Amino acid sequence: MKMASVPGISEWRKLPLSLTELCIDTTLRCGQAFRWRKIGDEWHCALQGRIVSLRQDATHLHYKATWPSTEAAAATATKPLSVPSPPGKPSSSSPGVEDDTLALVRSYFNLDHSLPALYATWSSRDANFARRSAAFGGVRILNQDAWEALVAFICSSNNNIARIAGMLARLCARFGPDLGRLSSSSSPTANDADDHDPPFHDLPGPDALAGPEVESALRALGFGYRARYVADAARQVATERPPGWLAGLRNPSSSTPTPPDSSTGDGYKAARDALLALPGVGPKVADCVCLMGLGWAEAVPVDTHVWRIARRDYGFGGGSGGSSSSSSSGKAISKAMYDAVGDHFRAVWGPYAGWAQSVLFTANLRSFAEQAAGGGGRRGTAVARVDGEDREEKKQVVKVEEREDGEDGMVAVASAAAVGRKRKRKMAERESGLKVEEGQETTEVKVVTRILRSSKRRKTST
């Protein structure tokens, strides 16, 4: 694609906001959104035809927008992507109209909802939440575009946060509108610019990913078996569903600061069932899209971390889910059990159960272990498991497997870690005489660590 110039950069502006209302260093690293790029103490992301930049201090959220050229803005404005804006706040995609970046930021971070009040409610109902959330104030559910949430969480199957971010970055660079760079300088060479100020690309809409060549292109970008799911989902949304179908699944009352304490849940269930009909969408992916892309705050995605929390802290599955060694590694829970976990958390935490779940989910990530211990946390790239679903999405079981990935930044498609896992698998087979299951991609070998541990114990005892 032709490189876009960046003619318009707004001044930094600030929004009064405490860290208990929103902590971007936690919220943008906890497995909700995967396209934000941290440079120094600032966060940047291509959203609605501009590059949004954020930084935060104890009392304010600072924001600005970097606008692309008119040509790039026009290309972005034609794609069927938008983060819902509050009524009366139309979206803009060029600096020629009113800058609605404040409205976009408020909508994207769901700032109409008082987070300290919600924390107080959840803590009064649940002593475990009160204890574990103490070091994790400001974790807020994002109000993302539903298509972005769908693509991202299809990619989350058997994956980690850093690798999902890399996959989406490659997808956007290949198919998405080019919004230019943060720097307006044209002096560096192209190679130097790519190294030090890489271009930002917005997420392509379903129309751009519905072509027959997309699956093979995504496989070449390292998507593996997920390439078919993304391409098929794009084709169905773009050509087989009525216009506006995905947006029509949105919770119509999602912008209401205080929903009623009781609800039939029929709208959420209908949206979830509709998503389950798409390729690559199982219960967890559907719940993630409902929660983070469609405004259904009661949706509770149950992945390996949430299942561990349910076992360790709430007695599901016989308890004893405090560590990976004692969790039900590689085992599947029934659909009934999956639903029971969500129903339990909805009964405990109320209509914002999905928001409360995200706090405990974040506290359970290895990348936040220091923060959970009261040390303030690490400010870096989070790498953690976000999914353990069975790849056979239509089965009536949900696989909740334990595989702790490294914490050393972006994981390449063919990484040294993958080679190490292959060696461990071969060692397990050699020592135990059992066949260790291998995933569909050579870079995603599932290692049954319990076989290694048991074989080592037997070896030691003899």
CA within 13 Å, CB half, 290: 29
Per-residue DSSP letter, 239? I
CA angle 389-346-256, nearest 5°?
105
Structure tokens at 433: 């005489």
Active site residue 426: no
- β-bridge pairing 60-67 and 37-39: unpaired
Q: Give long-range contacts, CB 8 A cutoff, 24+ apart: 121-124.
A: 121/349, 121/350, 122/349, 122/350, 122/352, 122/356, 122/359
Other residues' Cβ atoms within 10 Å of the Cβ of residue 347? 10
> Which residue in the list 64, 79, 284, 399 is annotated as catalytic?
284
Rounded to whole angstroms, what are the CA distances from 92 to 11, 64, 247?
Answer: 17, 14, 19
Q: What is the DSSP string of 262-331?
A: ----HHHHHHHHHHHTSTT--HHHHHHHHHHHS--TT-----HHHHHHHHHHH-GGGS--SSTTTS-TTE
User: How is residue 273 written in tokens?
Assistant: 């069932």
Residue 249: CB partners within 8 Å, gap ≥ 6? 146, 270, 271, 274, 275, 290, 294
Token pair of 268, please?
């959420």
* CA–CA distances in Å: residue 376 to residues 36, 298, 367, 373: 21, 29, 12, 8
Q: How far apart are CA 456 and CA 375, in angstroms?
A: 35
With CA atoms as reference, report the closest residue to 351 among 303, 305, 295: 295
Burial letters 125-135, b for 16+ CB under 10 A, else e: ebeebeebbeb
Q: Report the first-to-last Cα separation within the chain, whole angstroms.
A: 64
Rounded to whole angstroms, how far apart are CA atoms 296 and 237?
20
Instruction: Supply 140's token pair.
Output: 């807020």
Catalytic residues: 284
